[in-house]
Amino acid sequence: MKKILFVFLSFFALQAFAEAEWVKGEVVRADPSRNRIILKHEYIPSIKMAPMTMPFGVVKEIPLNDFQKGDKVRIVIRVVDGSIEIIRMEKLE
């Protein structure tokens, strides 16, 4: 039992330290007051999502006022209870 628990915990530790999956996109509209942004994103391998334009929730630590329509960005997402949320976002030059 202890061994099974160890393997289980190791798996999650590896997940936590795995390199973040960055996905490129372009800002269509930022909505700072609602912590939401509409992005045109490229293919997202981890969730097998085709390229599309869609809204995302954004963690409040990301200053959405810094992002404008047309900005090229890269994002890291996480999936919580089936909804996708941006946890990191950086502008690309």
Of 20, 47, 54, 59, which one interacts with Cu ion (CB under 5 A)? Answer: 54
Report whether 53 contacts 39 (CB < 8 A). yes
Report in angstroms how near the CB of residue 54 gets to Cu ion at its nearest.
4
47 binds Cu ion (CB under 5 A): no
52 binds Cu ion (CB under 5 A): yes
Report in angstroms how near the CB of residue 85 gets to Cu ion at its nearest.
13
The tokens for 74 are 């890269």
The window from 3-11, 42-50, 64-72, 85-93 that contacts Cu ion (CB under 5 A) reads 42-50
79 binds Cu ion (CB under 5 A): no
- Alpha-carbon distances of 38 from 7, 53, 57, rounded to whole Å: 39, 7, 9
Strand intervals (E) in 1-93: 23-31, 36-41, 52-58, 72-80, 83-91
Note the residues at the interface with Cu ion (CB under 5 A): 49, 52, 54
